[in-house]
Amino acid sequence: MERRTIVVMSDSHGDREIVQAIKEQWQDKADLIFHNGDSELEVNDPVWDGIQVVAGNMDFLAGYPDQQRVELDGYKIIQTHGHLQNINFTMDKLAYWAQEEEASICLYGHLHVPAAYQEAGILYVNPGSVSQPRGQILERLYAVLSIQGTLVRIDYYTRDHQLFPGLSKEFTIQ
């Protein structure tokens, strides 16, 4: 069974260089690269070639979709920033949307806090922020999902592409 790699970043807030650096690091190794919004870059910036990107609450320039849906090896991956689902207050709207979409994996951002958890068979992943982290872990991070069959391993990496210790998790998805 072939291993698949997905890279997920979010909340770069105008830092084009880090988006480019992550893209260069992973473009030949990853099957998919996602940016979960608040890039504050123009929609036609060439950095987006090969990256699935959605609008965040700070992306005032028109043209980004609010959400995306991608399939990889039969797994449905959905992506949003999270502000439209009011995730600052509750994760319910995000969960309802993920259930409606029959998602295997739901990618989101907005909170600037790395998170990976599974609920009702859906894997939820927030990569944290590559520029402005919040919460207990004040490291600027992005996430890498390694999928082999039904096993998903999530690792978090620093801006210099080093594995951040203590946050890695494994899940089984259907």
- Whether 26 has a pLDDT exceeding 80, the answer reads yes
pLDDT of residue 9: 98
DSSP state of 29: T
**Whether 36 contacts 127, CB under 8 Å:** yes
pLDDT digits (tens, 9 = 90+) for 61-105: 779 999 999 999 999 999 999 999 999 999 999 999 999 999 999
For the entire predicted model, the pTM comes to: 0.97
Percent of the chain with pLDDT over 90: 97
The CA-to-CA distance between both ends of the chain, in Å, stands at: 15
- Give the chain's domain count: 1
- Whether 174 has a pLDDT exceeding 90, the answer reads no
By residue range, what is the domain housing residue 92? 3-172
CATH number at residue 164: 3.60.21.10
H/E element, 92:
helix 92-100
